[in-house]
Amino acid sequence: MTPAPLDAFLHAMPKMELHCHLFGTVRHATFAALNRRAGSPLAEQEVEDFYTRGEKPVGVLRVLRALDAQLLRTPDDLYRLTREYLEDAAAHHVRYSEFFWNPTGTVHVSGLAYVDAQAAIVRAIRDAERDFGITGRLIAAIDREATPEAAVEMVEWVTANRLEEVIGIGIDYREVDRPPELFLQAYRDARRAGLKTTAHAGEFGMPWTNVRTALDLLQVDRIDHGYTVVDQPEFARECADRGVLFTVVPTNSYYLRTLPPERWAMDHPIRRMPGLGLHIHPNTDDPTLHKVTPTQAWARMVRDFGFGLDDLRSFMHNGLDGAWIDDGTRRAWRAQWSQEFDALRAQLPPDAIFSGN
């Protein structure tokens, strides 16, 4: 498929995001403005480097952590970040987004009360649905670099201040030396409260057994990343039989760093996952950090990994199947989105159809 028809098709197709971190969506101008307001605790070059990284991004966590530590001062700041993210996603025909926010840092580092921070984010979700037509839902994420006790505390905040827009918990930041089982109690408490659950596992080259632990011990509803599951095909087939959704990230930086540039796209686990029967759905993860839009994330599934239009339609359905929505909405969106996808596909010139590998 030539670039113009592909990009136009992928931009227009209905999408959802199930794996996106609020702090990884901050617009360049917004980040710079927050930094200036705080007296520039980050050097101007650090901010510029954050948004102009090379092909092998490294050393970004300090800048991300600075949002909590030095830049966020009021609930209105969280409102701004959320509204801007949802506006940007809606511009790429994202109809529905389940996005992550780490309350532990906001409360203990930024010093904002949980109830006030949550209220600001939810207010932005409601305003964005009215103004941009996008439905947003919040996933409160455990900071796995904090203590298990902090994770339990975070779940207590969520359950004590429930709003319908806050639908579940996850866990993120670096998986190295922080296996899923450390946070068992927090996940038990969340399930007991009726919250949905997901977990980053099998990222950063961490073993496939972390995926198994997340599924069988933590009993999560889906897996974020999960790439090393391909190292154990028998378990991968079990995940396929169980219908586990893997929210994958085509711009995942670990493999950019560790695979040779000429082999990166050919050897990335995402390429192999559907062949093992795994249900995958592409996402941006940290769109401004990764320099990727929702449209570009789907384009990479074609250009980097060789998937075709039938594959993309299947990935769209996987997202609908794994989203934390009611079954009535799921059925309605599946019918509507499939019809829109097929209508857009029918408009492509015959010689522009890309069939995949």
pLDDT tens-digit profile of 63-95?
888 899 999 999 999 999 999 999 999 999 999
DSSP code for 349? -
Task: For residue 214, give the nearest of 203, 204, 146, 326 by alpha carbon.
Answer: 203
**pLDDT tens-digit series, residues 97-156:** 999 999 999 999 999 999 999 999 999 999 999 999 999 999 999 999 999 999 999 999
pLDDT digits (tens, 9 = 90+) for 299-317: 999 999 999 999 999 999 9
Please, which residues have CB within 8 angstroms of residue 43's CB and are 6 or more apart in sequence? none
What are the sequence ranges of the domains in the chain?
A: 3-347
Say whether pLDDT at 355 is over 80.
no
Q: Does the pLDDT at position 357 exceed 60?
A: no
At 12 the three-state DSSP class reads helix
Q: How many CB atoms lie within 10 A of CB 287?
A: 25
CA distances, 213 to each of 229, 244, 252, 316 (Å): 12, 14, 22, 27
Other beta carbons less than 10 A from residue 104's beta carbon: 21
Name the helix (H) or strand (E) containing 11. Answer: helix 3-12
Which pLDDT belongs to residue 181?
97
Question: Can you give the pTM of this predicted structure?
Answer: 0.95
Average pLDDT of the residues in 315-329: 98
User: In the predicted model, what is the mean pLDDT of the chain?
Assistant: 93
Averaged pLDDT for residues 22-35:
95
Which pair of tokens denotes residue 119?
A: 């209220």
Sheet arrangement for strand 279-282: 15-17, 94-101, 135-143, 166-172, 196-201, 222-225, 245-248, 279-282
Dihedral (CA of 317, 318, 319, 320) sign:
positive
The residue type found at 20 is C
Instruction: Classify domain 3-347 by CATH number.
Output: 3.20.20.140
Look at residue 4 in the predicted model and tell me its pLDDT. Answer: 85
